[in-house]
Amino acid sequence: MVDRRNQKAKKPPILGQSHGLSDIEGEMIQQLIRAGSHSSRELYIPPQDLAQEATTHMRPEAEQVIADSRVHEILLTFQRDYLYGQGRFDEYRDGLLLKWGDGYSRKHIWVSVEDGKLLFETSHNKQCDKPYCNGTHHVLSRDQYTNLDIVNQELAELFRRPVYEPPDD
């Protein structure tokens, strides 16, 4: 007897690829999306509406770690090429937040700095097999966060499995 369930042609996985947009092309697509969706949502929060812990400037230590890791640079590229400028960055005293989506589909990538280490908030609540996982965050030392391969791997995982915000946030 032939098992037909295993005879289906396997489709190759869909992998996200950068669209290689210039900044001008990215802005044009962003405007088209906003016009097509008739969105009045602002892509930034006016300073008077920011939460008290939100700032416009990170602490110098946090800013240095973020710069050394190149996280902000990578997230800006992701924002332009994958989100077409529809995401929003918020800076906090200890880190950086990239948010995208609306309503029940809001997602974010939260990167913070604590004691000279770079922390990525994860979507899992238990320790994974990575040696730098503490159960809720991936904590990278200076040697790790200055290794672009590790940072890219972490951000790629966060892009695939972002942290979802509860609707009441």
Is residue 115 within 8 Å of 133, Cβ to Cβ?
no
pTM: 0.65
Is residue 123 within 8 Å of 162, Cβ to Cβ?
yes
Please give the angle made by the CA atoms of 90, 96 and 98, to the nearest 5 degrees: 60
User: Phi and psi dihedrals of 147, rounded to 5?
Assistant: -90, 105
Tokens of 138: 């991936």
Is residue 137 within 8 Å of 122, Cβ to Cβ?
yes
Radius of gyration of the chain (CA): 19
- Tokens 């972490």 belong to 154
pLDDT at residue 12 in the model: 58
- Spatial CB neighbours of 75, under 8 Å, sequence gap ≥ 6: 89, 96, 98, 109, 111, 155
The partner residues of 23 in beta bridges, in order of sequence, read: none
Tokens of 150: 């590790």
Over its length of 169 residues, how does the chain's per-residue pLDDT go in tens digits?
455 555 455 555 555 555 566 777 766 766 666 666 555 555 555 566 556 555 567 899 999 999 999 999 999 888 888 877 778 888 888 999 888 877 667 788 899 999 999 999 988 778 888 999 998 899 999 999 999 999 999 998 888 888 876 655 4
pLDDT at residue 160 in the model: 84
